[in-house]
Each structure stands twice: as structure tokens, then as C-alpha cells.
């Protein structure tokens, strides 16, 4: 019961909930972006279509560089 009291009654506990929620959302976004990239790996890019949020992490497959 002390953990629940600390979690909801102190500033540090509320900050832990907030930061944990942000970290969870980032993890879910990272996983979903990775699944989408694997699912549509052969999808041709249209004009003005960017690589997505995590293109810097995975490395962009720039077809224009060749």
C-alpha cells in the first residue's frame, strides 16, 4: 500500500507515472512503425512522401542517391 500512496500522493510518483506513460507511448510507436515498414517494404514511394518518424534510426532507403 505504501507504493500506491507514493505513486499518487507525491510529485515524484506523479512524475514517474507521466514519464512512464510517455516512454510506453514511444515504445508502442516504435514497434508499430517497425511492423509497418516490414509489411510495406516494397511499396513504391510517391512524390513528396517522406520516410516516416524513425527513418533516421532505420536508415532511409534513398532511391535518388544512385
Domain total in the chain: 1
45: in domain: no
Model confidence pLDDT, tens digit, residues 15-58: 999 999 999 999 999 999 999 888 877 766 666 666 666 666 66
63: in domain: no
Structural domain including 30 reads 1-40
64: in domain: no
pLDDT score recorded for residue 24: 98
pLDDT score recorded for residue 23: 98
pLDDT score recorded for residue 36: 87
pLDDT score recorded for residue 49: 63
Q: For 21-66, give the DSSP string.
A: HHHHHHHHHHHHHHHHHHHTTTPPP-TT----TTHHHH----STT-
15: in domain: yes
pTM: 0.58
Amino acid at each position: 500500500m505504501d507504493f500506491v500512496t507514493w505513486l499518487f500522493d507525491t510529485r515524484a510518483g506523479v512524475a514517474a507515472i507521466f514519464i512512464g506513460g510517455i516512454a510506453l507511448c514511444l515504445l508502442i510507436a516504435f514497434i508499430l512503425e517497425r511492423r509497418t515498414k516490414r509489411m510495406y517494404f516494397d511499396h513504391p514511394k510517391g512524390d513528396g512522401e517522406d520516410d516516416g518518424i524513425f527513418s533516421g534510426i532505420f536508415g532511409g532507403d534513398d532511391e535518388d542517391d544512385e
